[in-house]
Structure 1
Amino acid sequence: MHNLPQEWLEAARVSKAWPFEEARKLVARVEKEGPREILFETGYGPSGLPHIGTFGEVARTTMVRHAFRILTKDEVPTRLICFSDDMDGLRKVPDNVPNQEMMRAHLGKPLTRIPDPFGHEQGTFGAANNARLRAFLDRFGFEYEFASATEYYASGRFDATLLKMLAAYDEVRAIMLPTLGPERQATYSPFLPICPRTGVVLQVPTIARDPEAGTITYIDPETGEEVTVPVTGGQVKCQWKADWALRWAALKVDYEMAGKDLIDSVRLASQICKALGERPPEGFNYELFLDENGEKISKSRGNGLTIEEWLTYASQESLALYMFQKPRSAKRLYFDVIPRAVDDYFSHLASYRDQAPEQQIANPVWHIHSGEPPVVDMPVSFAMLLNLVSASNSEDARVLWGFISRYAPGATAENHPKLDELVGYAIRYYHDFVRPKKSFRVPSETERAALSDLDERLAGLPEDADGETIQNEVYAVGKAHDFAQLRDWFQGLYQVLLGQDQGPRFGSFVALYGIAETRRLIAEALAGKLAA
């Protein structure tokens, strides 16, 4: 990083790519406070199975961290902590975990005190979900440190700041009370004691506190007895807005992102952090992901894509691209976004090498690969492969490679491993999402005449005609026949020949699939065999 060309550094300082805009906030922070380690943090609530939104926060934060390292020539040390709030009490049983009845028996307990519903011996629910998150982050190659709230509270790492919280008790309440209803105002305390009898995280009022002794007193809601506990040593945890501020202050966090639904929470946590005598971190509010119905994704409901589901049908790089693009815009996160994300990734990768430095550092692949995008030859798009699987009526990778090798001479699964990977993704995606929805129809009279015309024109072309030559003929056919719009002709091609409403550039598809094979497809459509 020290040896970056000067033109790159100059371009980075003025780049409008959002990771650089965020990194410049931190550069200003360092310039004001002096050189020191910069700590990035992401938070994770492991009450449900990890979902892509959780991963997205780590991916985006990593992009900002890399941009900061570029702007500071890697002379300012940085760390990224992925913090799990696994000491939180379980409020409801997630819909998408087994052993629901067992889980209900442990409602209210910290996640790390609830048995693992997935059946791992000696494990806990919190540990199981933490392991799932870490396994993916490790698979993706993130550089991070994992932190557990249970460990940090119990080990005493938060003790000094918890005592500050106790000393600032009235000030913290003054920050929080205006945001609460009358009933909650009467009972609010920033401290949630862990009941020594039941192990449940209690939301009870603090009836007395002793800053010198470091204790609070509350009334046990079941026995009516007064109970005095220290706020240190893992005997209590903080209410989550206060808990957020506690982490920021104790660890001296410099940067943390949050969704737009948490803007007010960020504001309150920042005020509490100041009350504890520390500067709150810089931040970035990203938009939320939506499911297929436009509803907010919830990890407890499991209504969005899981990490594993995305990686069944597409690469890690395509997922990272989806996270990079328009982070301040709400986006649907469902299976139908995958093909576009895959092809967009390879499109950006293909254009990178010929770009000027200022364009390269704005290119998503530069941020996805931390400034070192790979060189990949991808002669066939994902959309094209999906249609090749459809038209060839084969889900055999060897058959598909027969078409690919003819289209791109010399290309093999061995010397094009990324393309071979894409072939596998395309077969799975087609099988699960395209084939079940395919619906062929018979051509209209206008379409029959146009298809016959196209067949004759294809017959007059050499078998190795390129996609552009074939596309010109397809256009000529559409213009020669009585279509209201040229778009109607192309939609008709897709519906009649491929059983779907849209598809790739048709000339390129024919070049890949083959002129003879396409003519056979037209003949079957005209004979009514496809619709049958």
Structure 2
Amino acid sequence: MKPLTPHWADQAAARVIASCGDQDVYTVASGITPSGTVHIGNFREVITVDLVARALRSAGKKVRFIYSWDDFDTLRKVPKNLPNQEMLAENLRRPISRVPDPYGDDKSYAAHNIRVFEEEIGGVGIAPEFLYQSDRYGSALYAESIKHALEHTETLKGILNEYRSEPLAADWLPTAIYCSKCQRDQMDYERYLGAYDYEYKCGLCGNEEKLDIRKTKDLKLNWRTDWPMRWAYEKVDFEPGGKDHSSDGGSFDTGKKIVKALWNREAPQYLQYDFVSIKGGSGKMSSSSGELITLSQALEIYEPQMVRWIFANQRPNTDFAISFDTDVIKVYDEFDKAEIAALGPVPANPGKWPVLRRAYELSCVADVPAAAPYRAPFRELTGRLQIMDGDVQKTWDRWYKGTAKGSLDKEAFWSRAARAWNWITNCAPDEFRYQIFSAPVKVELSELQTAAVRALVKLLDTVDLETIEAKELNQKLFDDIIHVTGCDGKEFYQAVYLKVIGRDQGPRLPSFLKDLGAERVRRLLSDV
């Protein structure tokens, strides 16, 4: 079938339909090991699947969107950003679903990371069916699949050895087991005895045990076998993967061969997604190292729809950085322009408009609005909030209340204002931050600066700052102050900024004076 639009998500959906044929349900899958705080780089996988799921639904297809939590994986490293480091270190080599929560809030280390991320993605309109692998393995749901893999160990070894410089050991098995006594996975030996029988000896506590695959809660497949097994078990039609899985001989390459050889099923349609970095940071984020930015932290700066739009606007196989520096202003401006264009009429020459419109549609947390709400320009908003000392209500009442046309405009303003203030207080460079003095302060000024400041106070008696345009006010500052007093323009601006915010530079002066208002400017300059 032809894609609904040229957008990459619609193209991916069309490939899924073409490869799978007509089905009652199309299954799309995502998942991760919650080995540490789940970060914005991990979010790229789940948003990629969500966008393709939406594209499939737009094509009239029923979709099952599953998200697998690999919480039966091993704790191999203690992330640096977590409390209770000693306790976590004592639990190394145990399944993360059986490690205590270092925060003391949830039933396990894994459960804490899972709960936080599930709440985060719910806030951006993502609601998959969550599958918890500790429960599924622990209930022996995969017992027959494990038995099948063990019976085909030599086939698995042959496939994996194709991509290895050294062959797997003669006694290699496609499984891993946790000791029932000490709960760790370091064994002296593991043996498959045929049928459902399995035995091991723990290399740490010495426990020896023979068990029934159908009854144990401690046995699992290793990753290279587990992933294709689940493709077959869940009948997955689409799943993306990161660069590490997509390399030659990576787990997708081996998985394709394993799922065909053992379960006679084709691998799902696949998209590689690349790394997400933070502008100003370096390298790949890592949950296990603790060097990361979470989705919640991104949502403190960007509105939920904007987070979705940032990812919908990028092809998955391109690296990109999320900005927390001054480029935040640029991102907001670009979104505002895109929203207006997307909700406007179709251009005579559409060009890239269909992709722009589709990215906007896919970014919406809920329904696509009929018209764009009023969006306060981000740069303007950061300045006005600082003039009001971060008071959103006063900022709304002073500048935006009269512009709003309804509740959606008000909601859009408050959402953006909260994030603008977060950016100013936590991320903005020093040159963007200032605080207005509450009373006149003593500043040493030259004679020309003093004359220019007095001329500004006099000018306020002849102009209405509420109605005059910034461009016209700028001309008056030059004609009636700089030209008349002979004060250098830069020195005049410096004098005003020093008297108002205690710095020799600040926002564009005409707009700044208008936003301050005549009464406040007069008060702060009254001692000159």
Partners of 1:341 and 1:500 in 2: CA distance: 28
What does 1:363-402 align with in structure 2 at a 5 Å threshold? 363=357, 364-369=359-364, 372-374=367-369, 375-390=371-386, 392=387, 394-402=389-397
Displacement after TM superposition at 1:145 (Å): 0.6
Displacement after TM superposition at 1:98 (Å): 1.8
CA offsets 1:318-346 (integer angstroms, 9 cap, x no match): 21122222233222235325444444333
Indicate yes or no: 2:411 matched with 1:421. no
Among candidates 240, 258, 265, match of residue 223 of structure 2: 240
SS class of match (2:27): strand
Aligned to 2:235: 252
What does 1:308-387 align with in structure 2 at a 5 Å threshold? 308-326=296-314, 327-333=316-322, 335-336=324-325, 338-356=328-346, 359=353, 362-363=356-357, 364-369=359-364, 372-374=367-369, 375-387=371-383
SS class of match (1:278): coil
Question: Contact 1:38 / 1:77 at 8 angstroms: preserved in 2?
Answer: yes
Root-mean-square deviation (Å): 4.4
CA offsets 1:416-463 (integer angstroms, 9 cap, x no match): 2211222222223212233755589x9xx9xx9xx99x979x989764
Output the amino acid matched with 1:287: D
User: Is the radius of gyration larger for structure 1 or structure 2?
Assistant: 2
Change (3 A) 1:512 1:238: farther
CA offsets 1:31-86 (integer angstroms, 9 cap, x no match): 2xx42321111112111122222333222211111111222xx2x32111110000
Partners of 2:494 and 2:160 in 1: CA distance: 61
* Percent of aligned positions that are identical: 22
Change (3 A) 1:225 1:370: closer
Structure 1: state its 5+ residue gaps: 1-8, 482-487, 528-532
Change (3 A) 1:270 1:397: same
Question: Contact 1:82 / 1:146 at 8 angstroms: preserved in 2?
Answer: yes
Displacement after TM superposition at 1:473 (Å): 5.5
Question: Contact 2:178 / 2:219 at 8 angstroms: preserved in 1?
Answer: yes
Output the amino acid matched with 1:330: D
Which moves more between the two structures, 164-173 or 323-332? 323-332
Displacement after TM superposition at 1:511 (Å): 9.4
SS class of match (1:157): coil
SS class of match (1:271): helix
Aligned to 1:6: none
Change (3 A) 1:54 1:365: same
CA offsets 1:231-255 (integer angstroms, 9 cap, x no match): 4454411111221112112111111
What does 1:98-497 align with in structure 2 at a 5 Å threshold? 98-120=83-105, 123-180=107-164, 182=166, 185=169, 188-202=172-186, 206-210=190-194, 213-222=195-204, 227-233=209-215, 234-263=217-246, 264-276=250-262, 277-291=264-278, 292-326=280-314, 327-333=316-322, 335-336=324-325, 338-356=328-346, 359=353, 362-363=356-357, 364-369=359-364, 372-374=367-369, 375-390=371-386, 392=387, 394-405=389-400, 409=403, 416-434=410-428, 436=430, 463=465, 469=471
Output the amino acid matched with 2:46: V
Change (3 A) 1:64 1:289: same
Change (3 A) 1:322 1:511: farther
Partners of 2:276 and 2:297 in 1: CA distance: 16
Partners of 1:288 and 1:90 in 2: CA distance: 23
Displacement after TM superposition at 1:208 (Å): 4.5
SS class of match (1:378): coil
Partners of 1:285 and 1:352 in 2: CA distance: 28
Partners of 2:271 and 2:510 in 1: CA distance: 42
Change (3 A) 1:183 1:41: same
Displacement after TM superposition at 1:271 (Å): 1.9
Partners of 1:517 and 1:173 in 2: CA distance: 81
Aligned to 1:3: none
CA offsets 1:103-142 (integer angstroms, 9 cap, x no match): 2221111111112222137x11122222222222333332
Question: Contact 2:309 / 2:360 at 8 angstroms: preserved in 1?
Answer: yes
- TM-score w.r.t. structure 1 length? 0.77
Partners of 2:356 and 2:96 in 1: CA distance: 41
Question: Contact 1:172 / 1:272 at 8 angstroms: preserved in 2?
Answer: yes
SS class of match (1:300): coil
Question: Contact 2:274 / 2:319 at 8 angstroms: preserved in 1?
Answer: yes
Partners of 2:104 and 2:419 in 1: CA distance: 31
